[in-house]
Structure 1
Amino acid sequence: MFKYISTGVLNTGLGAISIFSLQFIGVNYVLSNMLGYSAGLAASFIVNRAWTFRRRDAVSAFEIAKFMIVFFISYTINISVVIVFVEILKVNSYLAQMAGIVSYGAINFVGLRYVFMRVDSAEKGEGDAA
């Protein structure tokens, strides 16, 4: 859990700085959010896979697909929270971004832990006909 939190703090910090900097210079809050999360996507995959969850086997297309599915679900919830907070609840966009970051982190952790990093017998090569 410490490694996930450390990685998350790093990625969140970089993403938040990107998001808030873009908003500060006048970029729309939704576009700022998309660009901020895009910036950390590759780093998140590499660091979470190698350090947080200690996967040393070769990267597969299936694994990348699972990671992307977890990302898109987490991100969809994130951007939905941000838009609802800004457009419906009339919350300041910077505070809305923070709420989105929290929702993303929670959903992303569950997804990474139980979907992305779970090693199925099919991935290990077990169950193949001998």
Structure 2
Amino acid sequence: MRSALPSDVSRVLRFGAVGLLNTALGYTLILAGLALGLGDIVSNAAGYTAGLTLGFFLNRRWTFGRAGCPGAVARYAMTFVVAYGANLGIVIAAMSAGFIESPFVHLAGNCLYSVIFYLGSARFVFAGGADDPDAFAATNTRWPGAVT
């Protein structure tokens, strides 16, 4: 049965659900690592690694309908770095403006991170999925050799 929602809205909702799941896993592992005495850095790295890994596989298959996607892991990592960098840019700019430890700043950064990560995933990482078969060609036209 096909959803009554347009494919982009449905895909955004799936992306959001995956984001909630990978955040729950990552945060759980961060707390477990802290409880085991692994420290902030190791616990955080373990949580993010697990969350990003779960997010990659769920987004690849469920959100974007891509079974095989050569080079997707590298593109996913690049997209994460760009999205996270934008998030940090918001936080650093806000700190420079005198907004220290503001939850609203982090919320704004997280919103920008989510938008960039979704657009990067849809148009670069998993381009050419079941809902968007011509995205591979469009990405290669804009950035030759970016997707193979």
Matched residue SS, 1:55: coil
Matched residue SS, 1:82: helix
More helix by share: 1
**Structure 1 stretch displaced more, 112-121 or 7-16:** 7-16
Preserved CA contact (<8 Å) 2:22 2:50: no
1:68-110 deviation per Cα after TM superposition (whole angstroms, max 9, x unaligned) = 1111111110111122223434242433322221110011111
The alignment's TM-score, normalised by the length of structure 1, stands at: 0.65
The alignment's TM-score, normalised by the length of structure 2, stands at: 0.58
Q: Does 1:103 align with 2:128?
A: no
Question: Aligned pair in 2 of structure 1 residues 49, 104: CA closer, same or farther (>3 Å)?
Answer: same
Measure how far apart 1:37 and its partner are.
Answer: 4.3
Structure 1: runs of 5 or more not aligned: 122-130
Structure 2: runs of 5 or more not aligned: 1-10, 35-39, 129-135, 138-148
Query: Which residue of the partner structure matches residue 46 of structure 1?
Result: 57
Distance (Å, rounded) in 1 between the aligned partners of 2:107 and 2:27: 8
Question: Aligned pair in 2 of structure 1 residues 104, 16: CA closer, same or farther (>3 Å)?
Answer: farther
Question: Aligned pair in 2 of structure 1 residues 94, 14: CA closer, same or farther (>3 Å)?
Answer: farther
Preserved CA contact (<8 Å) 1:12 1:101: no
Structure 1 runs, 4 residues or longer, greater than 6 Å off: none
Distance (Å, rounded) in 2 between the aligned partners of 1:83 and 1:73: 15
Q: How does 1:27-38 map to 2 (within 5 A)?
A: 35=45, 37-38=48-49
For this pair of structures, how many residues does the alignment match?
111
Question: Aligned pair in 2 of structure 1 residues 85, 14: CA closer, same or farther (>3 Å)?
Answer: farther
Q: How does 1:1-130 map to 2 (within 5 A)?
A: 1=11, 2-12=13-23, 35=45, 37-57=48-68, 59-60=69-70, 62-119=71-128, 120=136
Cα RMSD of the aligned pairs, angstroms, is: 3.1
